[in-house]
Amino acid sequence: MLSYFSFPTRIVFGPGAIGALGGVVQEFTIRRPLVVTDRGVAQAGLLDRVVAGLEASGAVCAVFDGVDPNPTEENVAAGISRYREHGCDGIVAVGGGSPLDAGKAIRLKTTHDRPLAEYDDFKDGARWVRPDLPPMIAIPTTAGTGSEVGRSAVIVLKETDRKTVIFSPYLMPTVAVCDPELTRRLPKGLTAATGADALTHNIEAYLATGYHPLCDGIALHGTALASRYLPRAVASGEDDLEARTQMMMAAIMGATAFQKGLGATHSLAHPLSSVAGLHHGLANAILLPHVLRFNAEVAADRLRDLAAAMAIDVSGRSPQEAAADAIHAIQSLFRGIGIPVRLSEAGVTAAIIPALVAKAMQDGCHLSNPRPCSAKDFQSLYEAAL
Ligand SMILES: [Fe+2]
């Protein structure tokens, strides 16, 4: 069977990378960018820094700062109106996963007329996506989703009534400008939750079914970086630029690795955001140990590799024992950075589990989980995490 590999876009990486932004937009002849972001990024002063950098290079910016924490179809429609009013010729998306994903969907809609629901990955929507898209620069301000190097946008759509994955290799940003300085002031809780997402991406990608040794290598090293530096990034806040830098790389690696696929944790987490309003990274972190226990029956060897990547001594341990060690270490790491252990601590009640299960089954991520999942399995996993 043939395999198709496509690797990330150009990445400008490192403290001070934002200084290269002007040159990047000039190279791609973006003269009238739409800057897509959210109010938190604007209030943190990061939007002003980006706009100043763009204007210094001669660009005339329009700003759309109305992206919701879970971006919606309405956000995309408002962004596209702004793009057209201003006669824009490219997108600069700044923020966590939400503004970056909204930026990708706005970019898609500049040249594609179908309703967003028709691009749903679950319905093979990638076949409708063409390469004729304006240039897009992605500037992450968290170290988590890795959307800056990813090929998908996750948007809440009315028609599907769920977080819907819109996927195509053409959606990958033209350039990712990744400056860990921009993450320094992220509060502890958000550093923990977004970092947990990055760790989960690396772990789920490594366990995902399918043949992708390139992604496997990246996922193991991304797991090593995230497990080592996430506690430091949370504990020392803005002082530890090395930890922030390594976490930004772990996030890029996680999103690169999940070109291979993700797993049941993400399918279970997506409805927790759209139905119960949980932060995506937090939902992943609570569910991951339960899903790994479920997967250990069929993926102990791979969990053993992950244990070794996390610097756990696996010599003399059977695959099952090493898998248990890995799960225990992940749980301890999450506890240590202040992630709640149970869904009920985050306000989830048993009454909504049937609605969550129905939506999780429709989410495509679990299709690459190493152990096939039934609705009954999902019900048990939510109950175990409650
Ligand atoms: Fe994620």
Q: Could you read off the pLDDT of 245-295 as tens digits, one per residue? A: 999 999 999 999 999 999 999 999 999 998 899 999 999 999 999 999 999
User: 97 C-alpha to center of ligand 1: Å?
Assistant: 9
Q: Is the pLDDT of residue 304 over 90?
A: yes
Flag whether pLDDT at 239 surpasses 90: no
Residues measured by CB to lie within 5 Å of ligand 1, the ion: 197
Indicate whether 7 pLDDT > 80: no
- Which CATH architecture does the domain made up of 10-183 adopt? 3-Layer(aba) Sandwich (3.40)
Mean pLDDT of 300-329: 97
3 state DSSP class of 178 = strand
CA of 150 to the centre of ligand 1 (A): 11
Residue 56 makes CB contacts below 8 A (sequence gap 6+) with 22
Q: What is the pLDDT of residue 122?
A: 82
**Tens-place pLDDT, residues 188-236:** 999 999 999 999 999 999 999 999 999 999 999 999 999 999 999 999 8
CA 17 to ligand 1 centroid distance, Å: 24
CATH topology of domain 188-385: Dehydroquinate synthase-like, alpha domain (1.20.1090)
**CA–CA distance, 340 with 286 (Å, rounded to integer):** 7
Q: Is the pLDDT of residue 306 over 80?
A: yes
Q: What is the pTM of this model?
A: 0.94
pLDDT (tens digit per residue) in 48-96: 999 999 999 999 999 999 999 889 999 999 999 999 999 999 999 999 9
**Distance, CA 43 to ligand 1 centroid (Å)?**
25
Which helix (DSSP H) or strand (DSSP E) does residue 64 occupy?
Answer: strand 62-64
Residue 201 Cα to ligand 1 middle (Å): 6
Ligand 1 centroid vs 279 CA: distance in angstroms? 10
Please give the helix or strand (H or E) that residue 85 lies within, else none: helix 73-85
* 23-45 average pLDDT score: 96
Residue with tokens 């930890």: 243
Residue 366, pLDDT > 90, answer: yes
Q: Distance of CA 361 to CAs 263, 358, 376, Å?
A: 12, 5, 10
Q: Ligand 1 centre and the CA of 330: distance in Å?
A: 16
Q: Are 361 and 375 spatial neighbours (Cβ–Cβ below 8 Å)?
A: yes
* Tokens 């009238």, located at residue: 32
Q: How far is the CA of 280 from the centre of ligand 1 (A)?
A: 7
Question: Which pLDDT score is estimated for 99?
Answer: 97
What is the structure's pLDDT at 60?
A: 98
Q: How far apart are CA 151 and CA 9, in angstroms?
A: 10
Calculate how far, in angstroms, residue 197's C-alpha sits from the geometric centre of ligand 1.
5
**Span from the CA of 351 to the centroid of ligand 1 (angstroms):** 25
Q: How far is the CA of 138 from the centre of ligand 1 (A)?
A: 17
Task: Tell me the C-alpha distance between 361 and 358, whole Å.
Answer: 5
Domain residue extents for the chain = 10-183, 188-385
